[in-house]
Amino acid sequence: MAVLLLLTAVLGGTMLSAQSSINGSLSTKAGTYETTFLTFITGALILFLLVLFFGNGDIGLIVEAPKWQLSAVWFGVGYLFLTILAVPQIGVIATNISTIIGQLGAGIMIDHYGWFGGNQILFDWKRGLAFLLMLIALRFIYIADKKQVKGG
């Protein structure tokens, strides 16, 4: 089951890269805010239909959730908006690696301290090394991108 979940996460990452690239191109024509709005309104409509026909929870319970949990929606909006803003300027790879570095850094802190009700997974040298290697990867990608833009 874990392998299947890892593969679905890889598929999700593939879809995010495609979305980033397409949204970045669209934003140069339609605008950053407009592209972000189109993505969220389309997603909202699709999810409305999924909840309507397949939902088995109680959407009304959202109002009973702790208010700090509702803040997650702003992080999603911010992520998408900043990605749409960055891709046309620095490219899909540099944007996605930067995003992953942010996710790793935040994930390390969240796991280490057990924030937001998650299990506590202590920071160790392997996680530190993974973070360092991602920073090195970003540096190599950034250098390669600058050379490509200048023409070699």
End position of a domain, from candidates 36, 59, 87:
87
9 and 69 part of one domain: yes
Q: Indicate if 74 and 104 belong to the same structural domain.
A: no
Mean pLDDT value across residues 32-61:
93
Of 149 and 94, the structure prediction assigns the larger pLDDT to 94
Mark whether 83 and 95 lie in a shared domain. no
- Do 27 and 66 lie in one domain? The reply is yes
Is 25 within 8 Å of 88 (Cβ atoms)? yes
pLDDT at residue number 123: 95
Output 81 or 148, whichever has higher pLDDT: 81
What is residue 58's three-state secondary structure?
coil
Q: Report the pLDDT value the prediction gives residue 98, as an integer from 0 to 100.
A: 92
Please give the tally of structural domains in the chain. 2
Q: What is the pLDDT of residues 98-121, one digit of tens each?
A: 999 999 999 999 999 999 888 899
User: What is the average per-residue pLDDT within 1-22?
Assistant: 88
In a shared domain, residues 1 and 71: yes
Q: What is the mean pLDDT of residues 32-37?
A: 94
CA dihedral 66, 5, 91, 47 (to 10 degrees): -50
Strand, helix or coil for residue 87: helix
Q: Which of residues 151 and 8 earns the better pLDDT score?
A: 8
Give, in order, the Cα–Cα distances in Å from 116 to each of 9, 16, 66, 68, 111. Answer: 21, 25, 11, 10, 9
DSSP H or E run through 10: helix 2-30
**Tokens standing for residue 19:** 């979305």
Considering 67, 87, 107, which residue would you say is the last residue of a domain?
87
Calpha distance 80→41 (Å, rounded): 13
The answer on pLDDT for 152 being more than 80 is no
Do 27 and 54 share a domain, yes or no?
yes
Question: Using CA atoms, how far apart are residues 26 and 34, in angstroms rounded to an integer?
Answer: 9
